[in-house]
A and B are shown apart, each in its own frame.
Chain A
Amino acid sequence: MIEFHLDSKSGVAPYLQLIQQVRQALRLGLLRAGDKLPTVKDVAGLLAINPNTVLKAYRELEYEGLAAAKPGVGTFVTKTVSDASIAAHQRLSLELAAWIRRAQQAGLDFESIEALFQRAVRSAAREEAV
């Protein structure tokens, strides 16, 4: 079962952080179809957050087709991210590590590297949206 955490300095709304963590766990293969998500009470009690925040995150995951609520039982993951993409993770992460080394050799600090990476991701996302 997934365990949630919150980064209070990120500026990202807590319910979005929960959604992102489920999506990320799916992508990394840590969550698969049929897995149960922690109960609203457990998440609210663990993170000391409003139960409605957890409900909102779970409803959004249902809306995205990633999870489904079974009344009285809990919320379950309904989708497994394809194994083909998980298999590619290792190769891509090695390539990324090599790219980061090259960026360091070129004299960039970590902050600049992150900024560069984020800009590239955002501009790719924008192109896809058009």
Chain B
Amino acid sequence: MTNVTVAIEARGLGKRYGHRWALRDCTLTIPAGHVAGLVGPNGAGKTTLISLATGMLAPTTGTVEVLGGRPSSGPGQLARVGYVAQDTPTYAGLSVADHLRLGAHLNPGWDAGLARRRIEQLGLDPKQKAGKLSGGERAQLALTLALAKRPELLILDEPIASLDPRARREFLQVLMGATAEQEFSVVISSHQVADLERVSDYLVVLIASRVQLAGEMDDLLASHHLLTGPRRDTASLPASLQVITESHTGRQSTFLVRSSGPIIDPGWAVDPVSLEDLVLAYLGHASAGSPNIRVLEARP
């Protein structure tokens, strides 16, 4: 295994269909060794970014590197990346065993023992056609194929969006157990922050092609605070505080701020911010100030 420090690196990356940009001027670095959550509203460009990173699409502008190599630059690169596409597709007419045979033929580093063990643990019948499996079972089959490939990086595009709560949990249990065991990097996208709250230790918030927020989850949560206190002007806040959102009533002001140091002003009640509130604040922030929001509005 090569010693890489970056899972995905995009520079000025863009993809245009006719007149419409699905992803525009995207620059971001996702470090290796993390479970990185890629979060953003529908239409933010998550799937386009992932399709470019897996080599399913070619960029219109810019570059993207995955584990230091160009996507789909050859069989060697393809073998290093496991990919589970949106809604975890499988071949409805093929049996579970057929899927494993297909995986063994198509992947040089295929781990047949691991695939068989996982199918047994899941309690799937190898003779069962994939079309007859439940949504949760299909998702687990798709995940098994990606894991048995023994990838260095596993990319999952909204893998649990269409699953019921129990199947979601089971999918994430298997994914986290395998992450601990096989020690690969993971990039997982979702439009639901809550899905990723416990599984990710790195977060990228993508809004209208732009990275609004990126960093280690603990750092992001520790550097954002909710301040509540008697009404005051935004201008009266110290310059060390970056205001993300604010709201005021007749007597009270509430600010969500980013601050590198502790906030010691006794005039404020300082509370921690949940991940969901944090992401929503940046969504609001982007729609209030960013010129990129036109990209979102241009969508049908």
Taking Cβ atoms with an 8 Å cutoff, the residues of A that contact B are 6, 11, 13-14, 39-42, 44-54
Contact = CB atoms under 8 A, between A and B. Distances in A.
A51 B198 contact: no
Contacts, number: 50
Contacts of B169: 48
Interface stretch (B4-12, B145-153, B177-185): B177-185
B172 A48 contact: yes
Nearest to B33: A52
Interface in B136-193: 169, 172-177, 179-181
B272 A51 contact: no
Contacts of B290: none
B35 A50 contact: yes
Contact of B198 (A11, A40, A45, A48): A48
B176 A11 contact: no
Given A11-B272, A48-B169, A41 B201 contact: no
Given A11-B272, A11-B274, A49 B179 contact: no
Contacts of B180: 39-41, 44-45, 51, 54
B4 to A, nearest CB: 18
Interface residues of B, number: 19
Contacts of A45: 173-174, 176-177, 180
B177 A41 contact: yes
Given A14-B198, A50-B35, A50-B199, A44 B274 contact: no
B177 A50 contact: no
Contacts of B35: 50, 52
Nearest to A56: B218
A51 B179 contact: yes
Residue among B174, B175, B177, B180 with most chain A CB within 10 A: B180
Nearest to B169: A48
A51 B198 CA distance: 10
Interface in B171-228: 172-177, 179-181, 198-201, 221
A51 B274 contact: no
Nearest to A49: B198
Given A14-B198, A40-B180, A41-B181, A48 B173 contact: yes
